[in-house]
């Protein structure tokens, strides 16, 4: 019996020692959360892999303010900076760790959602009253979509999205981020990332388009990836509402991007990934020009 106790004690000491080594090694290396590969109804966990220390999300709420606007683009930047400061104080997190899409856990929490909408309303009011943007409460933005346009649908889908968020993050977020960044690097369209709330001006148009290319590539991948997960996690009725909500968000956002390119006569610069989300084809414009010229 004494030998048994001695062996057990030795095993325990060895286990503690090995755990200490493992903790030390993990503290020296930054790891990407465990990824998940899903096939049918089977979910297989894949191994961890190192992630670059400069990892930045592709979900960014940024703007383009032309010099033709009635107000200085810096006015919008000022409103965004105020929102950023209040957001970080309210949610006790940096904006670098926040993302608009897919919907962040802070927003999927009901109390957090209410605080987010209240704070966003102040931002919209700033755009209207200080920057004279009288359409700020009617155009697409992440907060307008969640807090106004699709509020009822979001509140219905919220519990499902909240339950599915961990798996969606582990599989879809990481997978789609990787694909979008690799595509941007291949096309050499990604020089440096924009911070949350960045307002681009006329001389930064190409940087703005590069951000849109990255964003639309991510959304294009994500809206297909998340469907299988919510179907496995949620009751069918809630899964269907959640899928439709995400699909609407992506389509509304893409339509807003397309409309801006048309109105600003920059449709030839519309990123390919955004073009696919809207169903727009450049040859359609060529056909319209031929019809117009012949009439």
* pLDDT tens-digit map of 189-233: 445 444 444 444 455 567 778 888 888 999 999 999 999 999 999
Residue 172 backbone class (left: φ over 0; alpha: ψ -120 to 50; beta: rest):
alpha
Q: Which residue has the higher pLDDT, 5 or 266?
A: 266
| DSSP label at residue 50 | B
- Which of 24-33, 172-181, 233-242, 269-278 ranks highest by mean pLDDT? 233-242
Spatial separation of the C-alpha atoms in residues 40 and 232, rounded to whole Å: 10
Task: Return the pLDDT at 187.
Answer: 61
Q: What is the pLDDT of residue 71?
A: 54
Whose tokens are 């990255």? That residue is 214
**Number of CB atoms found within 10 A of residue 69's CB:** 15
Q: What is the greatest pairwise CA distance in the chain? A: 102
Over residues 104-156, the pLDDT tens digits come to 999 999 999 999 999 999 999 999 999 998 899 999 999 999 999 999 999 99
At 150-187, the pLDDT tens digits run: 999 999 999 999 999 999 999 998 889 888 888 777 66
Q: Which residue has the tokens 């004494």?
A: 2
Query: Percent of the chain having pLDDT more than 70?
Result: 63
Q: Are 86 and 120 in contact (CB under 8 A)?
A: no
Q: Cβ-count burial of 51 within 10 angstroms (0-12 exposed, 13-18 middle, 19+ buried)?
A: middle
Distance from C-alpha of 245 to C-alpha of 242, rounded to nearest angstrom: 5
Residues 6+ positions from 239 with CB-CB distance below 8 Å:
160, 230, 231, 233
Confidence (pTM): 0.68
Q: Of 100, 98, 227, 249, which Cα lies nearest the Cα of 172?
A: 227
Residue 99 pLDDT grade (very low, low, confident, very high; cuts 50, 70, 90): confident
């Amino acid at each position: 019996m004494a030998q048994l106790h001695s062996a057990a004690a030795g095993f325990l000491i060895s286990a503690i020692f090995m755990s200490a080594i493992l903790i030390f090694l993990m503290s020296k290396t930054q790891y990407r959360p465990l990824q998940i590969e899903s096939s049918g109804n089977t979910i297989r966990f894949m191994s961890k892999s190192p992630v670059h220390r400069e990892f930045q999300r592709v979900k960014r709420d940024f703007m383009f303010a032309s010099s033709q606007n009635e107000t200085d683009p810096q006015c919008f930047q000022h409103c965004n900076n105020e929102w950023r400061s209040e957001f970080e104080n309210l949610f006790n997190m940096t904006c670098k760790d926040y993302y608009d899409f897919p919907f962040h856990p802070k927003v999927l929490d009901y109390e957090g959602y209410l605080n987010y909408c209240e704070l966003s309303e102040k931002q919209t009011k700033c755009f209207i009253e200080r920057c004279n943007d009288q359409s700020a409460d009617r155009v697409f933005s992440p907060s307008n979509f969640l807090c106004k346009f699709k509020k009822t649908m979001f509140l219905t889908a919220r519990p499902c999205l909240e339950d599915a968020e961990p798996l969606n993050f582990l599989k879809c977020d990481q997978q789609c981020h990787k694909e979008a960044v690799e595509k941007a690097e291949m096309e050499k369209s990604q020089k440096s990332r924009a911070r949350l709330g960045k307002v681009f001006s006329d001389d930064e148009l190409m940087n703005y388009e590069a951000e849109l290319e990255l964003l639309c590539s991510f959304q294009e991948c994500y809206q297909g990836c998340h469907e299988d997960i919510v179907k496995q996690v949620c009751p069918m009725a809630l899964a269907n509402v959640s899928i439709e909500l995400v699909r609407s968000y992506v389509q509304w956002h893409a339509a807003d991007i397309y409309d801006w390119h048309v109105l600003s006569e920059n449709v030839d610069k519309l990123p390919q990934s955004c073009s696919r989300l809207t169903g727009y084809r450049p040859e359609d414009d060529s056909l319209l020009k031929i019809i117009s010229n012949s009439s």
